[in-house]
A and B are shown apart, each in its own frame.
Chain A
Amino acid sequence: QLQLQESGSGLVKPSQTLSLTCAVSGGSISSGGYSWSWIRQPPGKGLEWIGYIYHSGSTYYNPSLKSRVTISVDRSKNQFSLKLSSVTAADTAVYYCARGGDGLDYWGQGTLVTVSS
């Protein structure tokens, strides 16, 4: 059974960079045919797609976030990461990682990131 687990700093200061990691277990992140996504959900609001990376390393980002987002893969650790720069309070959200296989089929439990000084 594939499992994903987010980790990272739960509190980030305004203007700094948010960094999260998604550890994948029960399967290899290098397996072909899958993408690895980040999605976020501000408190009390809906889901917002952030972007994804293919096993090949190619990426696709939400145009509204593209200038601030970087998604990367560390195959040696079987994990992928999200960096979001120049954060503001509007970036406060629960951040989820998910696998793109048959749709977004497997999700992590999510981690809350608060942007505050």
Chain B
Amino acid sequence: QTVVTQEPSLTVSPGGTVTLTCASSTGAVTSGYYPNWFQQKPGQAPRALIYSTSNKHSWTPARFSGSLLGGKAALTLSGVQPEDEAEYYCLLYYGGARVFGGGTKLTVL
């Protein structure tokens, strides 16, 4: 069974920079896994932020960026805002299958 692993929790100060990562139990994450990133706030549906590693949706704030880093998919928030406090999920494509990571709870403090 494929497992996608994210940091359970991270804390960042307002205005700071933080990187969240997404690892695959099958090995290094490449662009062929089409990493997606989502933000979810309490009581809300997930909101898509990044697709295909680094592509932003029209509604994605500029401070969010996606990349590959050390064999993992990465989501970097630069100039963090208080409203960025949320749960963040990655999603990887394994051929036709899709697997979500367990999520990272980001605290802005």
The chain A residues found within 8 Å of chain B, CB to CB, are 37, 39, 46-49, 52, 60, 62-64, 96, 102-110
Per the bound structure, the CA–CA distance linking A46 and B6 in Å amounts to 11
**In the complex, per-residue mask of B5-27: 1 if CB is within 8 Å of any chain A CB, else 0:** 00000000000000000000000
Closest to A103 in B: B51
Contact, CB under 8 Å: B45 / A46? no
Complex alpha-carbon distance, A102 and B35, angstroms:
11
Could you tell me if A96 and B91 are in contact, using CB atoms closer than 8 angstroms? Answer: no
Binding site for A on B (CB under 8 A): 1, 34, 36, 38, 40, 45-48, 50-52, 55, 57, 89, 91, 96-103
Q: Which one of A63, A96, A108 contacts B97 once the chains associate, using CB atoms below 8 Å?
A: A63
The A interface is mostly helix, strand or loop, or mixed, namely strand
Point out the residues of chain B lying under 8 angstroms from A49, CB to CB.
91, 97-100
CB nearest to B95 among chain A residues: A60
CB neighbours (8 Å) of A96 from chain B are 45-46
Q: How far is it, in angstroms, between the C-alpha of A26 and the C-alpha of B101 when the chains are bound? A: 30
B48, A105: Cβ atoms under 8 Å?
yes
Q: How far apart are B82's CB and chain A's nearest CB, in angstroms?
A: 23
* A102/B45 in contact, CB under 8 A: no
Report yes or no: A48 in contact with B51, Cβ–Cβ below 8 A.
Answer: no
Given contacts A47-B46, A47-B103, contact A105 B91 (CB under 8 A): no
A103 touches B36 (CB 8 A): yes
**B52 surroundings in chain A (CB, below 8 A):** 102-103
Q: Give the distance to chain B from A116, nearest Cβ to Cβ, in Å.
A: 22
Residues of A within 8 A of B99 (CB): 49
Smallest CB–CB gap between A35 and chain B, Å? 10
List the A side residues contacting B102 at CB < 8 Å.
46
Closest to A97 in B: B45
- Residues of A contacting B50 in the complex (Cβ-Cβ under 8 angstroms): 103
Contact B103 A104 (CB under 8 A): no
Contact B46 A107 (CB under 8 A): yes
Do A103 and B34 touch across chains, with their CB atoms under 8 A apart?
Answer: yes
**Most chain A beta-carbon neighbours within 10 Å: one of B40, B47, B48, B101:** B48
